[in-house]
Each structure stands twice: as C-alpha cells, then as structure tokens.
Structure 1
Amino acid sequence: MREATKNYGSGGNAVQALRGISVDLARGSFTAVMGPSGSGKSTFLHCAAGLDRPTSGQVLLGGVPLSGMREAELTRLRRERIGFVFQAYNLLPALSVRDNITMPLRLSGTPLDRAWFDEVTSRVGIAEKLRKRPSELSGGQQQRVAIARALINRPDLVMADEPTGALDSHTGQEVLRLFRELVHDLGQTVLMVTHDPVAASYAHSVLFLADGRLVERMDRPEAKTVAERMAHFGGR
C-alpha cells in the first residue's frame, strides 16, 4: 500500500478514513491491525482486499496495482488470490463441509487439487467432518472450515476480520495457533484485524491505526505491551 487515502462524502460532511498510509506486508508474514473505533481498521482491510478503492494512492498485490482494474477484474482477483475469514464464518448451511470448502473453486471454474484439499483439511483439523453440515459443528470447527475455504485457492493473502470474536478464549487461541502454523509451515501471508491484544500477540507484527493514520508498528508483540499501547491510543 502506497500513500493510500480514503475519503467518504464531500464538502462539510467529508470524512477522511485513511490518511496517507504506506505499508508493506512480507510474503509469509502474520500481521495484526489494531486501533480505536473509527481509526480506519475496516477501511484499511477493505482497500487492501480490493473491496473498496482508495481515493488516492496505490494498493498492490504481489506487485500488481489494483487501482486500474475494472470491477470484474477485481472480483476475479479477490476470488483467486485472496482468502477471507470473518467473525461470522459465513458458511452455507445447506451445504456439507466439503462443499463449503470447495465453493470458491466452483465459482472460479478451477479444478480441485485433491492433494492440496487433503493437506488443507488435515491441517485445519476437519478431515473427519467433511460430510457434516455447519449446524453439526462447534463454533471453532466452523471457523476451521472457513479457514480451509479461504486456503483452497492457494491465495497470496488471507484476510481475517475479527476471526476469534465469536469464539471462547480457548477455542480462539487454537484458531490463532492454526494461523501461525499456516504461516510458518506453508508460507501463507495473513492480515488480521482484531481488538484483542492476546490475538494480536500471535502475529509477527502489529500495525496500530489512529484517526486514519498508521501511527506505530510493533514487532514481536506481547499481549501486555499491545494492551498498554491500545490504552495509550484510547482503547478500542
């Protein structure tokens, strides 16, 4: 991301959600994004994922600028090169676990790589649940299905928006450990928005946003230090 700004509205009602943010995410890194309410976290994530366009500046994915792409091109890029994990799982209740995971492949017309499917489902711990429906799984298991779905296209980047927000602390930490394993063992790149200092401590680094600006980057974060910085920025 290069000098990205994002404005909403115009005139006296204009709101600047992002103010000249520049940041690089290394391949195979796990980065958390934190900041108070209204700091620009969601806008940052949406612009980074090509879900929204910055008013000025550039967003690049693997060296490819997103700004000049048409909407159809952006949709294809998101489908093929970005995986999404949300707090609410967003699984289709009428489909089996297997069909939920492979849905992105059907949408993109990509053939199933059976060896990769087996590795992903084994890695996330749901290889024995493939015939079940989401309603038959715990919250933690559903989130694991969502992670497998995000990985099935071998994306350049996984975007996680409060991925442990609906989970109890123990299950949430299991999911966060899974993210770290995916980064370390598979070279996956993960960008995670969170309000939880414990969740952020699993990342390699934390980006702190305030008033639409990138105000600090913390490497090798610890939960206590992250919480102290968040208190300094005004909490959530």
Structure 2
Amino acid sequence: MIRIAGVSKTYGKGANAVHALRDVSSLFPPGTFTAVMGPSGSGKSTFLHCAAGLDRPDAGSVQLGDVDLAKLNERKLTELRRARIGFVFQAFNLIGSLTVRDNILLPARLAGTKADQGWFKQVVAEVGLTDRLHHRPGELSGGQQQRVAIARALVTRPDVVFGDEPTGALDTTTGGEVLSLLRRVVDQHQQTVIMVTHDPVAASYADRVVFLADGRLVGHLDHPTAAAVADRMTHLAEQGAVRC
C-alpha cells in the first residue's frame, strides 16, 4: 500500500513561496483504483511526484509498504522506482527508435534484470499488442502508444502504477478504452492504480476520488459517478472564486 502522512511541499522562499502541499495524509490500499482531482494549481502534480518518489516532501513521510521513501538515497530510490513503481504519462514517453517490444521491456533492461516472459506475453495480449511488437511508436495510433506505456508500466509487476493524465491526449473513445484497460488491471490482477486527472468521466472508472484544493486534501468520493465528480469540482471552483 501507499501511505502518505503529513506531507508538505513548498517551492521558493519568502514572498515568492508557493505552498504546493499542506499537511496532506492519505492511504491507498492494494488492489484499488484512486483518482486524484482538484482545480488548476491545487497540488495534484506535486502530490503525484511526492507519492511516486519523483520529488521529496519538505515534511511528512511517504511509505510504499514498509519502506519510507524519505530514508532512501537517490540510488536506492531509483532502484525502488524501477522495481516497484510503474508510470503512465499523458505524453506516452516512448522511445521512437525502439520497437514496441523493446519499449515495454525497457524498465527490466534498465534494472539489469530479465522480465518474466510468461508475464510479458500475458501483458502484451491483454493490452492488445501481440501483433504490434515489431512496430515503432511512430507507426501506432495514440491509443496504441498509450497501451504500450501501460504494458511497460506493468511488465515488472510493480506494487503501484501512477498515471499522470493518461487519457489527456486521447479522444473520448480511445480514452475510454485505455481507462477500461486500467480498470481490468485492478480487477483482474489486484494492481494498485493512482491517477491524476481533470476529467470527471475518467475519474468515474476509479473506486475512489480524492480532492485537493490549495494544497490540502478537502474530501473524497467513493464509488464515483461522472455527475457526482463534476458537481464536487464545480463546488471547489466556486469556493476558490469566493476566496479570490
């Protein structure tokens, strides 16, 4: 599981300081799908970066299982991310000169390990890429490229997969297919997925939505529907306008 306790993060100093996160605590049990939402500037990206070990909080702790990420040096943190954390980004972040197969296997290669070939074949089949392994990213549609990114995130059997607007660059139909794939990964393989999104429809695929505003955790919604998420986001936006 991922446990975030009392996490704060500030960028800059003095009058120019930006308090991106303020004493945020949350728990993400294994085998769950969580969406993270909030208005622009609410701290969503910083939350994801701290939870995934891409950035270090100024205060508080982030634990992956029984490991406190703050106690790891950069080398150990890099090794942990390669072995236990998967990433899916809006821009896919594939290497254009590599085939689909080599892009998927890249995390194992960087970690100096060999991927389980049985698991590799299963993942490739489940994301629908069996007949695309020798293609390069430029020969694929946007949805297919995101499927490659999801397979790459899963190939090392990580403890958690983080998604940063994974459907933001996709059309509605293709985005729905990618979200359905992430939902199946959670339901069939008990994978833990934490996804930052601005889209209420995307959030409705999750088990739970947590909401951020002004760097603080301001609520959550279990078993979300797109309408309920949109309503909550509207209220957050209105509250922000009143504060301004």
- TM-score after normalising by structure 1: 0.98
1:191 and 2:194 correspond: yes
Amino acid at match of 1:135: G
Match of 2:19 among 13, 16, 21: 16
Q: How far apart in 2 are the matches of 1:212 and 1:13?
A: 16
Aligned to 1:117: 120
Cα distance in 1 for partners of 2:97, 2:170 equals: 22
Give a deviation string over 1:59-99, Cα, whole Å, max 9, x none: 00112100111011111111111000001101111111000
- TM-superposed CA distance for 1:128, in Å, is 1.2
Instruction: Select which of 91, 102, 107 maps to 2:105.
Output: 102
Counterpart in the other structure of 1:90: 93
Divergent runs of 4+, >6 A: none
**Are residue 211 (structure 1) and residue 214 (structure 2) matched?**
yes
Runs of 5+ in structure 2 lacking a partner?
A: none
Indicate the residue corresponding to 1:166 in structure 2.
169
Q: Secondary structure at the match of 1:33?
A: strand
Residue 44 (structure 2) pairs with residue 31 (structure 1): no
Displacement of 1:35 after TM fit?
0.2
Equivalent position of 2:205 in the other structure: 202
| Counterpart pick for 1:74 among 73, 77, 101 | 77
In structure 1, the gaps of 5 or more residues are none
1:172 is paired with a residue whose SS is helix
Give the deviation of 1:183 after TM superposition: 0.2
**Please, which of 178, 181, 201 is the counterpart of residue 178 of structure 1?**
181
Q: Which secondary structure does the structure 2 equivalent of 1:22 belong to?
A: strand
The corresponding residue for 2:130 is 127
Once the two structures are superposed, residues 30-51 of structure 1 have per-residue CA deviations (whole angstroms, 9 ceiling, x without a partner) of: 0000000110000000000011
1:191-216 per-position Cα deviation (integer Å, ceiling 9, x unaligned)? 00000000000000000000000001
CA RMSD in angstroms comes to: 1.0
Aligned pair count?
Answer: 236
TM-score in terms of structure 2 length: 0.95
- Of 49, 53, 58 in structure 2, the residue corresponding to residue 50 of structure 1 is 53
The match for 1:60 is: 63
- For 1:95 and 1:58, the matched residues in 2 are separated by 37
Distance, in Å, in 2 between the alignment partners of 1:26 and 1:67 is 20
Q: Distance in 1 between matches of 2:31 and 2:72?
A: 25
Secondary structure of the residue that 1:226 maps to in structure 2? helix
User: Contact 2:96–2:136 (CA<8 Å) still a contact in 1?
Assistant: yes
Tell me how far apart the structure 1 counterparts of residues 11 and 132 of structure 2 sit (CA, whole Å).
44
Identical positions, percent: 62
Aligned equivalent of 1:152: 155
Deviation, 1:12, is 2.1
